[in-house]
Amino acid sequence: MNRRTFLRSSLLRSSLLGSSALAGCAIDRRPRLNIFNWSDYISPDTIPRFEREFGCRVRYAIYESNEEMLARVMSGNSGWDVVFPTDYLVKPMLANALLAELHRPALPNLVNLDPAFQTPKWDPELRWSVPYMVTAAGIAYNRKLVPPPTAWADLWSPSLRGRITMLDDPFDVMGACLKKLGRSINSNDPADLKAAQREAIGQKPLLRAYLNAEVRDQLVSGDVLAAQMWNTTAQQAMAASPAIGFVYPREGYAVYPDCMVILRESKHQELAQQFLNFMLRPEIAAANAVAARTATTNLAARAHLPEEFRKNETLFPPAPILALGEWAETLDPGTQRLRDRLWTEIKSA
Amino acid sequence: MKWLSIYAVCAYLFLHVPLLILSAFSFNSSRFTVWEGFSLRWYQSAFADKQLAEATLNSLIIAVVATLIATVAGSLCAYGLWKRNAPVLAGSLYLSLVTPEIVTGISLLALYQFLFRFLHFQLGMYTVILSHVAFSIAYVVIVVMARLRTVDGSLEEAALDLGANEWQAFRYVTLPAILPGVVSAALLAFTVSFDDYVITSLVAGVDSETLPMVIYAIARRGVNPMVNAISALIVFGLGALILISTRLKSGSAA
Amino acid sequence: MNRLRMSRLRTWFLAPAWAITLVLFLAPLGIVLVYSALTRGAYGGFSEPWTLESYTRLMDSLYLVILLRSFWIAAASTVGCLLLGFPLALFIARSGRRKNLYLSLVILPFWTSFLVRTYAWMFLLRDTGLINATLQKLGLIHDPLPLLYNDGAVIIGLVYSYLPFMVLPLYATLERLDKSLLEAAADLGARPWQAMWRVVVPLCAPGIRAGSVLVFIPCLGAYLTPDLLGGGKSVMVGNLIQNQFTSARDWPFGSALSLVLMGIVMALLFGLLRRDSEGGLL
């Protein structure tokens, strides 16, 4: 059903049911798109605008981790249409037959993407995924901490005992340790990984805890002075409190591009593609980036960003810092297993 | 008895003070746990949140239906097991009790995934309700059973000797004796159902988000006073209901 | 005659529970059993060949240490619930017309989300939380005590979360207790605590057992509390299993771990019940 016939039929229906507003409400037969996204990752106006323009309803819900999302859609009959996995999950989701192939002609706005994201490693032809926004892991700190941290190694400082947290995520913690040692975050070399594990175990007595987003208000209150944190989360905390700063460690850091994908189970493939294309519009992408306080992959959107947002160095770091970032990749099964074991050992150390 | 009362007061303080403090902070105007002044903004945002209202309704429907099914099936089962041994069933119920939540959730998800190959349905309210019945029935059996153990079986035999049939003996002799146990069991089943996050989050579909799932989503982003506001509403709302119902009961008794 | 009718009725009484158990518990468990004997797929999930590798991987001191730790935390939490719950249940059972109200007051906090209850403790125990702030104001301590993110916090959180599971079955048995037995004991010269220990405790043994099992098991498999109150600094077996199904995406190993855990707990329970002449809980 195209948009015009849809509008006509919905008009007809609303005139038939017009006599009773309640009935009209109860039998809303507009197609419904079910979207499952990270929290704080979209502009509040985006969904209502899409609903108005395409004459549909949207069920929008949020999650806090890739694992949470994956667990929900794993059954292949969850009812969700569009989800937002991080790059390294695209391959596993594809291998588990969860993804629908994208129809390129339905996505003319793909040209708006930054060329760096037109042929990403995890999906070179963008057959299954459309890059959305990019986050990275760095160090958030309370400005009471003088001098402020500049490197991962600063999170090993004995004077901060009990005032440091790391993310509760194996890839992030190992990544920081690997970077501290000057290795790649995606390393599959057992010797590197063992060395990184020793670093993590050595750091553990200094740690208050392994925490994700919950650490934010402990940073604000000063319970925690320095924390490994995603830049998006840090940005949101910085907006709420001037006490917090954020730095990209000089040894390098992990970069996580998040993607939009359509699930194979989706019964509204066409509408879902329209949604993806809608999200790729420069002004929509810009509004989303501003609301989420995250760097967008949409090059055309940059022109729509407010000046002070574009100058924000946490979001748009200068070239030398940008060059320190390394994209997260899907790990091979053997490495994944070794890393999982090392992580268990770190946790039970 | 005096010492017991003092002890009980301490225990009640332990139970309620943490939540009272949490509730107090629902009136904090700051998002963070630093007191900045009195405000009702978190209540406003909680009431304005449609998703929250829908999730609360879902949770209530799921908990009531699951509790009804589990309590009836579980109580009958406990009674059946009290009369005669059924080692396989009893063992299975045991096993369902010792199954870690995450395993119950994953195995149910695997079951639904398997069934979807043959039946075209989606994860939704009924998969959640079925899962809740599955994990709460053993709780019901165990609580009713503990009560049955204190019941004198010879009373029922006497009833049978006096000409009652088996059903009548159950209905008029044993059931009244175990009713407090059945009520406790239903309360327990309702509590575990209303509260479950781990299993529900795995088997819930798009339209069956429950209150714990929404709270989890909010709370994972840090301490959010909206969660405090919601929990305050639940605790005081239910508290008032319980107080009124006990008043009414004692009033009608007097 | 009676016997015959009794057995027919019994079949019908057990039928609903049978159906639920068979379809919603045994069948899914069978699927988990099948998973545990498969191999992890390249990107999660599972694939052939069939193997017992997931089980042989478990023969490892690393996993044994985690298991023992979980047992210790679950046992400590159970004892905590019992110490707190028994006198409370006794108090409720003896409070006459008010007992429904008092019972409701036990259950009330548990209608808020489990997560809210855990957060309430994070609220109290953190450095700038109420306890530390009060102690500092009274001048008893200078620097805040590290109350959060350790085993003690985990145990408090678990006791707080599972207390009604202990109180409800205890109350169910205590409420039935014949008060004249206590009076008889007193008449025979027993002190109150003697009467309690020699008369009340043995008589409500079924309730104690039921409550302990209901608390111990979920504590053993807990994973949200150790994460939130323990700060993710130590793993319990629940965390280990959960990691397999989420970040490690190793379903076969997670399934094997779960089945082994269930087996160990079952063995323990049967050991406990063998000594019990009544035949145990069920």
Looking at chain C from residue 82 to 101, which residues have their Cβ under 8 Å from any Cβ of chain B? 84, 87-88, 90-92, 94, 97-98, 100-101
Measured between its terminal Cα atoms, the distance across chain B in Å is: 26
Distance from CA of C120 to the nearest CA of B (A): 5
- Mark yes or no for CB contact C28/B108 under 8 Å: yes
- Mark yes or no for CB contact B205/A213 under 8 Å: no
Compute CA distances B127 → A92, B132, C43, C113, whole Å: 26, 9, 27, 21
Distance from CA of B78 to the nearest CA of C (A): 8
State yes or no: pLDDT of C104 exceeds 50.
yes
With pLDDT > 90 as the criterion, what percentage of chain A qualifies?
63
In a mutational test of the B interface, the residue from A75, A83, A238 whose CB has the highest number of chain B CBs within 10 Å is A75
Q: What is the pLDDT of residue B223?
A: 64
Give the model confidence (pLDDT) of B4-26 as tens digits.
889 999 999 999 888 888 888 88
Q: Which of A209, A330, A344 sits opposite C232 (nearest CB)?
A: A209
Q: Is A59 on the interface with B (CB under 8 A)?
A: yes
Give the model confidence (pLDDT) of B123-159 as tens digits.
889 899 999 999 999 989 988 988 888 888 788 888 8
Residues near A154 by beta carbon (within 8 Å), at least 6 away in sequence: A139, A226, A249
Measured between its terminal Cα atoms, the distance across chain A in Å is: 59
Q: Is B64 on the interface with C (CB under 8 A)?
A: no
- Longest CA–CA separation in chain B, Å: 73
**What pairs with residue A59 in β-bridges?**
A34
Q: B–C: how many Cβ contacts below 8 A?
A: 281
Q: What is the mean pLDDT of chain A?
A: 88
Closest to C166 in 3D by CA, of C282, C79, C94: C79
Q: What is the pLDDT of residue B137?
A: 94
Closest to C113 in 3D by CA, of B184, B27, B194, B42: B194
Looking at chain A from residue 251 to 310, which residues have their Cβ under 8 Å from any Cβ of chain C? none
Closest to B133 in 3D by CA, of B63, B198, B217: B63
Which of residues A152 and B105 earns the better pLDDT score? A152
Q: DSSP 3-state assignment of C40?
A: strand
- Mark yes or no for CB contact B8/C214 under 8 Å: no
Closest to C33 in 3D by CA, of C252, C241, C267: C252
Question: For residues A193 and A342, is the Cβ–Cβ distance under 8 A?
Answer: yes
- Mark yes or no for CB contact A59/B32 under 8 Å: no
Q: Per-residue pLDDT averaged across A242-265, rounded?
A: 94
State yes or no: pLDDT of C4 exceeds 70.
no
State yes or no: pLDDT of A3 exceeds 80.
no
State yes or no: pLDDT of A2 exceeds 60.
no
**Dist. CA C277–CA C91, nearest whole Å:** 29
- Mark yes or no for CB contact B217/A79 under 8 Å: no
**Dist. CA B23–CA B16, nearest whole Å:** 10
**Dist. CA C119–CA A195, nearest whole Å:** 36
Q: How many CB atoms lie within 10 A of CB B152?
A: 11
**Dist. CA A314–CA A237, nearest whole Å:** 12
Residue of B nearest to A221 (CA): B34
**What pairs with residue A296 in β-bridges?**
A133
Q: Which of C41, C42, C149 sits opposite A209 (nearest CB)?
A: C149
State yes or no: pLDDT of A284 exceeds 90.
yes
Q: DSSP 3-state assignment of A211?
A: coil
Picking from A263-272, B60-69, C219-228, which range would have the lowest pLDDT averaged per residue?
Answer: C219-228
**Dist. CA C191–CA C170, nearest whole Å:** 22
Give the model confidence (pLDDT) of A308-323 as tens digits.
888 888 888 888 888 9
Q: What is the pLDDT of residue C17?
A: 92
Q: Which tokens hold the place of A73?
A: 């859609």
Q: How many CB atoms lie within 10 A of CB A40?
A: 16
Highest mean pLDDT out of A68-72, A183-187, A209-213? A183-187
Q: Which tokens hold the place of A145?
A: 């901490």
State yes or no: pLDDT of A168 exceeds 50.
yes
Give the model confidence (pLDDT) of B193-232 as tens digits.
988 888 998 888 888 889 888 888 777 666 678 888 888 8
- Mark yes or no for CB contact A95/C43 under 8 Å: yes
Q: Please report where in the chains the tokens 């079925």 appear, as a residue.
A: B130
State yes or no: pLDDT of B1 exceeds 80.
no
Q: Per-residue pLDDT averaged across A228-249, rounded?
A: 89
- Mark yes or no for CB contact A91/C246 under 8 Å: no
Model confidence at B248, in pLDDT bands (50, 70, 90)? low
Question: For residues A216 and B33, is the Cβ–Cβ distance under 8 A?
Answer: no
Question: For residues A82 and A261, is the Cβ–Cβ distance under 8 A?
Answer: yes
Question: For residues C194 and C153, is the Cβ–Cβ distance under 8 A?
Answer: no
Measured between its terminal Cα atoms, the distance across chain C in Å is: 27
With pLDDT > 70 as the criterion, what percentage of chain A qualifies?
92
Looking at chain C from residue 205 to 234, which residues have their Cβ under 8 Å from any Cβ of chain B? 206-207, 210, 213-214, 217-218, 220-221, 223-224
- Mark yes or no for CB contact A348/C69 under 8 Å: yes
Give the model confidence (pLDDT) of C207-251 as tens digits.
888 888 878 888 988 888 888 888 888 889 988 888 888 778 888
Question: For residues C235 and C68, is the Cβ–Cβ distance under 8 A?
Answer: no
For strands A164-166 and A57-63, give the pairing. Answer: unpaired
Compute CA distances A327 → A134, A330, B173, B222, whole Å: 10, 10, 71, 27
Q: Which of A67, A165, A344 sits opposite C240 (nearest CB)?
A: A344
- Mark yes or no for CB contact A221/C127 under 8 Å: yes
Q: What is the pLDDT of residue C272?
A: 65
Q: Is B238 on the interface with C (CB under 8 A)?
A: yes
Question: For residues A204 and A349, is the Cβ–Cβ distance under 8 A?
Answer: yes
Q: Per-residue pLDDT averaged across C49-74, rounded?
A: 89
- Mark yes or no for CB contact A223/C42 under 8 Å: no
Give the model confidence (pLDDT) of C117-175 as tens digits.
888 888 788 887 778 888 888 888 888 888 888 999 999 999 998 998 899 889 988 88
Q: How many CB atoms lie within 10 A of CB A52?
A: 9
Burial of residue A191, with CB atoms counted within 10 A of its CB: 0-12 exposed, 13-18 middle, 19 or more buried = exposed
Q: A–B: how many Cβ contacts below 8 A?
A: 73
Model confidence at A178, in pLDDT bands (50, 70, 90)? very high
Distance from CA of A201 to the nearest CA of B (A): 26
Q: Per-residue pLDDT averaged across A167-180, rounded?
A: 94
Residue of B nearest to C87 (CA): B4
Q: Which tokens hold the place of C246?
A: 């989420």
State yes or no: pLDDT of A26 exceeds 70.
no
Residues near A252 by beta carbon (within 8 Å), at least 6 away in sequence: A179, A185, A324, A325, A326
- Mark yes or no for CB contact C262/B100 under 8 Å: yes
Q: Is A239 on the interface with B (CB under 8 A)?
A: no
Q: What is the pLDDT of residue A17?
A: 38
Q: Which subunits sit against B, judged by 3+ Cβ pairs under 8 A?
A: A, C
DSSP letters for A157-190: -GGGTTSEEE-S-HHHHHHHHHHHTT--TT---H
Looking at chain B from residue 184 to 213, which residues have their Cβ under 8 Å from any Cβ of chain A? 201-202, 204-207, 209
Q: Which of B32, B123, B220 sits opposite A78 (nearest CB)?
A: B123
Question: For residues A315 and A256, is the Cβ–Cβ distance under 8 A?
Answer: no
Closest to B98 in 3D by CA, of A224, A195, C221: C221
Q: What is the pLDDT of residue B33?
A: 61
Instruction: Report how far Cα C114 is from the mean position of its chain's Cα atoms.
Output: 14
State yes or no: pLDDT of A129 exceeds 90.
yes
Distance from CA of B101 to the nearest CA of A (A): 14
**Dist. CA C159–CA C81, nearest whole Å:** 5
Catalogue the E-assigned strands of chain B: none
Model confidence at A228, in pLDDT bands (50, 70, 90)? very high
Closest to C17 in 3D by CA, of B79, A97, A201, A213: B79
Using a CB-CB cut-off of 8 Å, the residues of chain B touching C237 are: 100
Residue of C nearest to A342 (CA): C62
Looking at chain A from residue 19 to 58, which residues have their Cβ under 8 Å from any Cβ of chain B? 34, 39-40
Distance from CA of B75 to the nearest CA of C (A): 9
Question: For residues A255 and A326, is the Cβ–Cβ distance under 8 A?
Answer: yes
Long-range contacts at C90-94 (CB < 8 A, ≥ 24 apart): C90/B4, C90/C170, C90/C174, C90/C200, C91/B4, C91/B5, C91/B7, C91/B8, C92/B8, C92/C167, C92/C171, C92/C174, C93/C171, C93/C174, C93/C175, C93/C177, C94/B1, C94/B4
**Dist. CA C281–CA B98, nearest whole Å:** 13
Distance from CA of C169 to the nearest CA of B (A): 6
Q: What is the pLDDT of residue B225?
A: 80
